[in-house]
Structure 1
Amino acid sequence: MSVVRPEPLTIRSAEDQVYEALRDQIIHGLAPLTPLRLNHLAASLAVSTMPVRVALRRLESEGLVTTLPRRGSRVAPLRVEDIEEIQMMRSRIEGLAARTGAPNVDEVGLAEMRRHLASLQKSIKSKDIDGYVAHLRAFEDVCYQASGWPRLTRMVEDLRRSAERYLRIAVAGGGDSVLTSRFWERFYDAVEAKDGAAAEGALNEALMWTLEWIREYLTGSDQNPVPNANKPQRVAKATTKQ
């Protein structure tokens, strides 16, 4: 008797869609302290208030939203201690992914890393933060996925997304010099040499360099990198179905 193997489900719940829509907007620059009013969000996203409540609780657990009794929810402020914690965790977790993945990257993977590194360098020259983030993530993933540890790579992705908000706002505030390829060139050389320790070292240098840039920006910033940042920003609509 043959065993029926079900196909992976692709239908997402309304809660997941609302969560992803709000998380994406916060990470991509929804200003710190922007109010997240329940009824307004539900109307904007064309859902009832229940999936919005669930999404806000999830975002609060990730440190992206703060909620106060009788005052509602708002986008969490950017705090130096939070990005320090995130980068230190990334150092350990991504460091493990780099160390275990580097010896396993084959020639096909190396060619893919070279392509993304070249695209990353072009994004730096054009100050394209979207391109930089996308190509850096794809570049790293070749190595991380070669570790063969899917739980580890999922943890890496969660932490990278948490850090991305800080990077984007720092760059928007004039800190585009934080975008550099020199650490990633060394990272590639280490992977090509199948030297996991050197790959981890290059990664950690990059993480600490970025942390210093963001720390400097936050300590000298009023956290208003865009005009009218203290005014409620409109939350874009998402296609959701209950």
Structure 2
Amino acid sequence: MPAVKSSTDDDALMKAYVGPFAVFLGFTLLLQFLEPALGWDHPSAAWWQRDLKQWVYPLQAVSAGFLVWHWRKRVQWAWSWKWSLIGAVAGALGIACWLAPTLLADRLPVEEWFGRDSWQATALGLDARTEGFDPGLVFERGGAAWWMAYVMRFFRAVVVVAFVEELFWRGFLMRLMVNFDRPWTVPFGKHSWRAYWVTTLLFMSVHLPVDYLGAFVYGSLTYVLAVVSRSLGATVAMHAVANLLMGVAALAWNKPGLW
């Protein structure tokens, strides 16, 4: 695949690959300021005060998703059925590795071995993950708002996060680590050890500590897929399948802390 040429279009490419991620991250940071200012965890509080994530995350998903769609033609996706299917299989494998520790936590005497809330258990991902996203805390279970909250949650995780993160981590940052001055001259999937370590470790660092091990393994698999396939579309497919299975597992196993 030819490299993305460096030209006066550099700014346009930067917007397409980095802009959606920047907006997505901006909403995450905004939430940190809004929660102490507007949040009120009280039975008499309005739903939008009790759990700000129930409306900030949908706005985040729609805003970042719109930018992905708006700038989609500037991106070299290199879609193919072959590599999309391989990416889907890689996503299932990667998320299986991510989920394995929490399944082991249900079957092993973790507290007896390491003690309560130990750093060793956290580092290994051995946590039951029973606390996390639960719209039933603010909406009537089974009601329209409850269902919509889950629809938007899956839309955010499976569609928006898959595109936004792969555009940034593999589409931009990998290139930047190969050539700081002219990243857009670097073909997608160009291998360098600096690109691998920086991209994978930073991807790992934006997750919770209990997810570090799973994120490192998953990030490594995604890097390999990017290098072998030279297809950004394949890594998006991998991410989408992984997040879909993560959401299904969170609901099926009653582990809302997974997502």
Instruction: State the TM-score, normalized to the length of structure 1.
Output: 0.29
Please state which structure has a larger fraction of its residues in strand. Answer: 1
